[in-house]
Structure 1
Amino acid sequence: MLIAWPVSLVVRTTFEGGLANLQTALSDPEVVHALQMTGIVAGVAVVANLLFGVGISLLLVRYEFPGKRVLSTLIDVPLSVSPVVVGLALLLVYNSRDGWLGRPLDAAGLQVIFATPGMVMATVFVALPLVIREVVPVLEEVGDEQEQAARSLGANGVQTFWRVTLPSIKWAVVYGVVLSLARSLGEFGAVKIVSGNVVEKTQTTTLVVEQTYQNFEQGTAYAAAFLLAFASVLCIVIVSILRPKDPA
C-alpha cells in the first residue's frame, strides 16, 4: 500500500487523458532540457560510483590496512545523512564567494556550485554506497582462491581482475549500478541546493516536477514523475529478468 498505491495514482493521473500529458511534457523545452540534464548528471555519477565502488570493494575485502573499519563506516554516511545537509556542505566548501575551495577554483575558471560539476558531486555522494554494498558480500563469498591460482600461473593484477574477479562479481556490479542509477535519477534535495534550480540550465527532472506542480501544471508534473519512475523500474526489471537464477 505504501508503494503500489501512490505509484498507481501517478500512472493513472498521467494517462487520464490518454497520451496528452506525456505529449505536453515532451513538447515543453524546459522538461526536455531537464530530462537531458538528468541523464548527463546521472550517467556521470553512475560511472564515478562504478569505478570508485568496485575499487573500494576490492580494497575492503582483499587488503588489510589501518583505518579499514573507519572507511567501511564512512561509506554508509550518505545513507544516514540528509541529502539537504550534503548539498549545504558542498555549498559551504565550493561556493565562489567564501568557500574553502570555491575561490581558487573560480579564479581558475572552474565553477562548481550552480553548475553541472556540483550537481554531479552531490549525486555521486548520495548514491555512493550502493555499488559497494552489493559487491562486498559477493567478493567475500567467492573468496580469493581463484585469484591466487591465476597469479600463481603468471597472470598479473589486471589480467586477474578482468578474467577472474570481474566475471565472479559481474551481476553484483550490474545490480549495484542499476540501484545507483535509480537513486541518481530521483535525487532532489542535494541537487536543488547546489544547482540553483535555473530553468533550462541547471534544472533536473525532479526539480521540474516540483516547479510544474507548484505552478498548477499537474499533468506535466505527473508525466515527468512517471518518466523518472518508469526509467528506474524498467532498469530493475530488465536486470531481474536477465540475472541468472540460483540453482536449486
Structure 2
Amino acid sequence: MADKNIARYVLRILVITYLFFLVGWPVWLIVHNTFADGLDALHDALTSPTVVFSLKLTLAVAVQAVLINTIFGVGISLLLVRYEFPGKRALSALIDLPLSVSPVVVGLALILVYGPRDGWFGVWLHEHGFNIIFSTTGIILATTFISLPLVIREIVPVLTERGIDEEQAASSLGASPAQAFFRVTLPAIKWALVYGMVLTFARALGEFGAVKIVSGNLEGRTQTATLLVEQKYQDFEQSTAYATAFLLAAVAVACIAVVTILRSHTESASAKRGTS
C-alpha cells in the first residue's frame, strides 16, 4: 500500500508539473504581460478602433458559425440516427474531416473553390457581384467548416441512447413531426445541444489558420482578433497583442466553465434516466 501511495503522489506531481509548463506558465505570462503597464494601458489597447473592429468581427463570425452549425448539426444528427441510407458511414466519416485536416489546408481548398480568379465557382460568383474569398463571408464559411463536427458529435450519442419510443408515442397521440420535435426531441437533447454550441463558439473565436488564408488579413476589413494578435506582436505593439490575447483567453476559460456545468447537467440527466 505504501508503494502504491508513493507512486500515486509521484504521478500527480508529474502531471501537475507537465500541465504547469505546458499550459499554466504560458497563460500566466500572458496575464502578467497584459497587466504589466497598468489598467489604463489595457483600457487604451482594448478600446482602439482596430481592436474594437476585430473583436466585433470575431464575435459576429462566431455567432453566425454557431447558428449555422446548430441548424445543420441538428438536422444531420437526426439523419444519421433516425434513418438508414446508402453512404451513411461515409457521411459520418466525412463529418470528422474538419478535425483531422489542417486549417491551412481548409483555407487553401476554399480558395480553390471560391477564389475570384480561378476558383471553380468563384469566377462565376465574382462576375455576378458575390465575393466570398477575402471577405466576411469567406471567414464565416471557413469558421463554420472548421467547427462543423462539434454540435453533431454531442447530439448523436444522446439521440442514439434515447431511441425513438417517445417520438413514436407522440405521433400515435396525433402530434405532427414538428410538434414531436419541439416538444419531445428538442427537450431531450437540449443540454447536449447547448454543450455543442458552446464548444463551437469557443472554437470559432480561436480559429486562425483557415481564417488567415481566406480573409487576406485586411486591417479594418477582414482582420479577426487572432489575426490582430499576430500582426500587433510582429509590429512590436506588445501591449495590444497581450491585451487582445488575454481577452480571448478569458472568454475561452469562461466557455470551459460553462462546458463543465453543462457536463454535470448532462450526466445528472443520464443518471436519472438510468434509475427511472
TM-score by length of 1: 0.96
Structure 1 residue 11, shift from structure 2 partner: 1.6
Match of 2:3 in 1: none
Contact 2:199–2:259, Cα closer than 8 Å, also in 1: no
| Counterparts of residues 179-218 of structure 1 (less than 5 Å) | 179-218=199-238
1:147 to 161, 167, 178: 167
1:219 to 239, 252, 259: 239
- Does 1:108 find its partner at 2:132? no
- Offset from partner CA, 1:92-150 (integer Å, 9 cap, x none): 11111111101111111111000011110000000000001111111111111111110
Partner Cα distance (1:3, 1:208) in 2? 22
Contact 1:181–1:232, Cα closer than 8 Å, also in 2: no
1:233 to 245, 253, 262: 253
Partner Cα distance (1:170, 1:21) in 2? 42
Match of 2:116 in 1: 96
- Does 1:176 find its partner at 2:192? no
Structure 1 segments, 4+ long, off by >6 Å, are none
Match of 1:158 in 2: 178
Give structure 2 stretches of 5+ with no counterpart.
1-18
* Structure 2 counterpart of 1:94, one-letter code: Y
* Structure 2 counterpart of 1:140, one-letter code: T
Larger radius of gyration: 2
| Counterparts of residues 109-124 of structure 1 (less than 5 Å) | 109-124=129-144
- Does 1:8 find its partner at 2:43? no
SS at match of 1:13: helix
Count matched residues. Answer: 248
Structure 1 residue 207, shift from structure 2 partner: 0.3
Contact 2:139–2:215, Cα closer than 8 Å, also in 1: yes
Larger relative contact order (Cα-Cα within 8 Å, sequence gap ≥ 6): 1
Structure 1 residue 239, shift from structure 2 partner: 4.6
Match of 1:72 in 2: 92
Q: Give the fraction of aligned pairs with identical amino acids, expressed as a percent.
A: 63
Partner Cα distance (2:86, 2:234) in 1? 51
Partner Cα distance (1:64, 1:171) in 2? 26
Match of 1:31 in 2: 51
Structure 1 residue 171, shift from structure 2 partner: 0.4
Partner Cα distance (1:102, 1:39) in 2? 26
Give structure 1 stretches of 5+ with no counterpart.
none
Q: What's the RMSD between the two structures over aligned residues?
A: 1.4
